[in-house]
Structure 1
């Protein structure tokens, strides 16, 4: 019985070593995604900065684009910093646009006093406006 366990352990070690050797052999063919050596300096292009002018919407029902930076905003399960200015109860005092009343409806259409949980993560639909180059070719044309 002990001999059988010893043989099984030996076979497992031999298989693991063979796999390691095969992986090491293939390591010489690994390439970076940018087709440059893995240890080369990673250069990135210029980062587009946020525009100060307001952008027009491109289609009906497009969520408004955020005209200010949200880099340091906390939006997680416990806090949503957007509501400090845009919640209906403070928007008038802060001079900020108030949220649409649809943000205060639950799934059944019941009116709530607080923002609905389905609308809690603002940056699921709203993004900061920036005039950045398209990531992929795009033939989209705005509606008339």
Structure 2
């Protein structure tokens, strides 16, 4: 029984390695990644700062229309809140964080952003200038009444 388990594990690792190599080749082909030693070159070029990016469906988290290079989010500091907090958004001209981000799990209002919404890039991502990995024929649904 141990021999069969060991052989199955070895086969899985071998096949997984083949899959990883193919995936890496695909990424290199698409993004032009080069890895020299331990240094990695950015795979995609971030878009330049732009106006708000149109959403494709209701409740879609907005895309980040600017570079976030060097933005740190730790348990004690969130760089995004320098501009997007309720207190600073009007002054900076940034989009204000949604009211839903100030609610706890029981929908109680909080003074500060909810811990479950604190790490912005769980949902919000910057726009990149990259070729699609697969063909996309997605069309957003029309709104009611249109």
* Contact 2:103–2:114 (CA under 8 A) maintained in structure 1: yes
For 1:68 and 1:129, how far apart are their aligned partners in 2? Answer: 8
Q: Which has the higher contact order (CA 8 A, sep 6+)?
A: 1
- The structure with the largest alpha-carbon Rg is 1
Matched, 1:132 2:130: yes
* Contact 2:64–2:125 (CA under 8 A) maintained in structure 1: yes
Number of residue pairs the alignment of both structures matches: 111
Q: In the superposition, relative to structure 1, how do residues 45 and 113 fare at CA in structure 2: closer, same or farther (>3 Å)? A: closer
* Contact 2:46–2:67 (CA under 8 A) maintained in structure 1: no
* Contact 2:45–2:130 (CA under 8 A) maintained in structure 1: yes
* Contact 1:104–1:113 (CA under 8 A) maintained in structure 2: yes
* Contact 2:48–2:67 (CA under 8 A) maintained in structure 1: no
- Normalized per residue, the structure richer in strand is 2
For 2:71 and 2:137, how far apart are their aligned partners in 1? Answer: 33
Displacement of 1:64:
0.8
Gaps spanning 5+ residues in structure 2: where? 1-16, 26-33
SS in 2 for 1:115: coil
Q: In the superposition, relative to structure 1, how do residues 46 and 127 fare at CA in structure 2: closer, same or farther (>3 Å)? A: closer
| RMSD, aligned CA | 2.9
* Contact 1:60–1:143 (CA under 8 A) maintained in structure 2: no
Q: Which residue of 1 aligns with 2:30?
A: none
Q: TM-score scaled by structure 1?
A: 0.65
